[in-house]
Amino acid sequence: MRAMVLEAQGRPLVLHDAASDPVAGPGQVAIRISATGVCRTDLHIVDGELPPEKMPVIPGHQIVGVVETVGEGVELALGARVGVPWLAWTCGVCRACTSGRENLCERARFTGYHVDGGFAERCVADARYAFPLPAELDDVHAAPLLCAGLIGHRALRMAGDPRVLGLYGFGAAAHLVAQVAVWEGRTVFAFTRDGDARSQTFARSMGAAWAGGAGEIPPEPLDAAILFAPVGEHVPLALAAVRTGGTVVCAGIHMTDIPAFPYRLLWGERSVRSVTSLTRRDGVELLALAARIPLRPHVVEYRLERANDALFDLRRGLFDGAAVLRMSDGREER
């Protein structure tokens, strides 16, 4: 199989052609991949902002494909179309796992980080974390739901029940959260890089009632804010924009340091919290919701061998929505 491999952090991925395909062990499935989303977490791993856990490693954790073989004890059928997310494995016995918070498992392993991921033609996954996908979503549009969608869904639930929701950073996750929030009857305000007219126009096309720079004052105070941009300076800005009793949710796996800020920004029972990974319940809820809305990711497609270009474009903010690597079928991509 072909795969784009990270051999050392801070270097471009290298195209490998493996002599054999990965083999499913007990409790696992082997998957023929059709599409894999490109996430900012992949960028954090490649750029060295997250410490290396496995090297070399195949990145990619928004995987869509078909089950080719199953290991012992697996009930998934051959040919089932599944999605594989960031959370790859949990122990099932620690305090977090047994209290319904498997996303906080002390021994959790992650796709494309601890185990090889989806920047490849095939992969192996724990069958517990291979979600059956709704027929309403094609492979390319299903891929971004496996992280951008899931983290956004969990972050929105942690925000409580806001009437006015602010989204800081309008990329893959935010453009999906905006669709869900508008469908639920919420008012969405989008905060982008200062002067980023293209992203602000895109946000309005996704249902945002207002879009402006991160430092701008919104038309009315926010009930909650979700931060997707990995910029610590946005935390005090969001606190200043949130009304008393509001919540600021930090939804990224990595963020630059949060600067000191006056206590008055936190005063009035405002809160700051983070989102960590996802649970299987999140996956079931979001995929069912996606089919009902229906949720439509805005995607930019790249061929597998152009994964470095996708990462470069993501780093520079050169596209709207989400990037997806698609295994070649003769169609033209970016």
Residues 23 and 136 reside in one and the same domain: yes
Pairwise CA distance, residues 267 & 278, whole Å? 30
- Please return the burial class of 301, using the count of CB atoms within 10 Å of its CB with bins 0-12, 13-18 and 19+: middle
Residues 223 and 158 reside in one and the same domain: yes
Given 240, 256, 274, the domain boundary residue is 274
Does residue 333 sit within a domain? no
Residues 96 and 123 reside in one and the same domain: yes
Given 255, 274, 293, the domain boundary residue is 274
Residues of the chain with pLDDT > 90, as a percent, come to: 95
Strand partners, 271: 247
Residues 286 and 261 reside in one and the same domain: no
What are the start-end ranges of the E strands in the chain?
Answer: 2-5, 14-17, 28-38, 63-70, 81-84, 87-89, 109-110, 122-126, 131-132, 164-168, 187-192, 210-213, 222-227, 242-250, 271-274, 299-303, 322-326
Which residue range is the domain that position 172 belongs to?
150-274
Residues 19 and 123 reside in one and the same domain: yes
The per-residue pLDDT for range 111-152, each reduced to its tens digit, is: 999 999 999 999 999 999 999 999 989 999 999 999 999 999
Tokens 């639920």 locate to 184
Residues 305 and 241 reside in one and the same domain: no
CB 159 within 8 Å of CB 153: no
Given 253, 274, 295, the domain boundary residue is 274
- Please return the burial class of 292, using the count of CB atoms within 10 Å of its CB with bins 0-12, 13-18 and 19+: exposed
- Please return the burial class of 20, using the count of CB atoms within 10 Å of its CB with bins 0-12, 13-18 and 19+: exposed
Domain total for the chain?
2
CB 242 within 8 Å of CB 168: no
Residues 217 and 122 reside in one and the same domain: no
Predicted confidence at residue 19, as pLDDT, reads 77
Strand partners, 32: 66, 122
pLDDT band at 329 (very low <50, low <70, confident <90, very high): low
The per-residue pLDDT for range 58-108, each reduced to its tens digit, is: 999 999 999 999 999 999 999 999 999 999 999 999 999 999 999 999 999
**Cβ count within 10 A of residue 15:** 15
Residues 68 and 187 reside in one and the same domain: no
In 87-196, which residue ranges form alpha helices assigned H by DSSP? Answer: 95-98, 139-142, 148-158, 172-183
The per-residue pLDDT for range 253-306, each reduced to its tens digit, is: 999 999 999 999 999 999 999 999 999 999 999 999 999 999 999 999 999 999
Predicted confidence at residue 331, as pLDDT, reads 47
* pTM (2 d.p.): 0.94
CATH number of the domain at 313, please: 3.90.180.10
Does residue 247 sit within a domain? yes
Does residue 222 sit within a domain? yes
Pairwise CA distance, residues 7 & 52, whole Å? 11
CATH number of the domain at 233, please: 3.40.50.720
Q: Return the closest-CA partner of residue 117 out of 217, 207, 237, 37.
A: 37
Three-state DSSP at 91 gives: coil
